[in-house]
Amino acid sequence: MAISSYAAVSISKTLMKTSTSIPRLPIQNHLNTRSTILKPKPSLASIFRSHTPKPLTSNTYQHNQIKSLFTGIVEEMGQVKQLGFDESGESFDMVIHSPTVLQDVNLGDSIAVNGTCLTVTEFDTQRLEFKAGLAPETLRKTSLIELEKGSVVNLERAVKPSTRMGGHFVQGHVDGTGEIVSMEPVGDSLWIKVKTSPEVLKFIVPKGFIAVDGTSLTVVKVFDEEECFNFMMVEYTQQEVVIPLKKVGQKVNLEVDILGKYVEKLLSSGFMDTIKTR
């Protein structure tokens, strides 16, 4: 019997509406038996120690496609429930408890975890957990390699066209990591100083934006000789993000303002010379 195009569309829409319930049964089983599926986390640092990161230049970004966009306004702090390699030993997965960001989640959605854009591969709305895979390059280049079971992480869903831009444009493409060198309370504020590589520091300017573990912050001062910069967090922000929970010596993910990268690319391409000759 032939099916009209209208009926076919109706069936398709019905399937789409019920699709989110399909993964729950197998996902429930996966999460309940997670300890048998995910192997204990080995020394990831030793696995990737031989990797030499590429220099951070404007050319690094020319092939990146902006698939998701964030604001750097953290929605909630989630907790890592499980993490480790699967049975094949090739896929490194992480399960995060996150009541807020799962309110309208779909498979394939992008969620920034400590400023790193990750893809939802499984979720369970009853257990309020989602799973995301981490590629070797992600572990090499970000501070996620330091996470363990019980760690708290910043979470933010990708923005929608109707979302207010409360922070700044954050892609979730971590440019590098920094090391916390000092944390000094001043009144109810917290001043934090971070050391990073010269390749990242050259894009950081006083009063400019920077995403630290996915949190949109304003740079106060840059210390070129020390290869450091600092920023200040007010009391409210301290209670809403994970940075104050870290200690001196720990790493943070850094993503510099995309505008700085575009400016460097224009200058290095000879664009200004072209304008002068006109």
Catalytically active residues are 70, 110, 117, 119, 135, 173, 218
3-state SS class at 262? helix
CA distance 157 to 51: 30
Distance CA 52, CA 48 (A): 9
Question: Within a 10 A sphere around the Cβ of 277, how many other Cβ atoms?
Answer: 6
Strands 110-113 vs 116-124: parallel, antiparallel or unpaired: antiparallel
Percent of residues in the chain assigned helix, strand, coil, to nearest 5: 30, 30, 40
Give CA 261 to chain center in angstroms.
Answer: 19
CB atoms within 10 A of CB 219: 20
Show Cβ contacts of residue 255 under 8 Å, excluding neighbours closer than 6 positions.
115, 170, 171, 172, 173, 174, 175, 210, 211, 214
CB distance 85 to 73 below 8 Å: no
Give the span between the Cα atoms of 152 and 246, in whole angstroms.
Answer: 10
Cα separation, 222 vs 6, whole angstroms: 61
Q: How do 176-186 and 189-195 pair as beta strands?
A: antiparallel
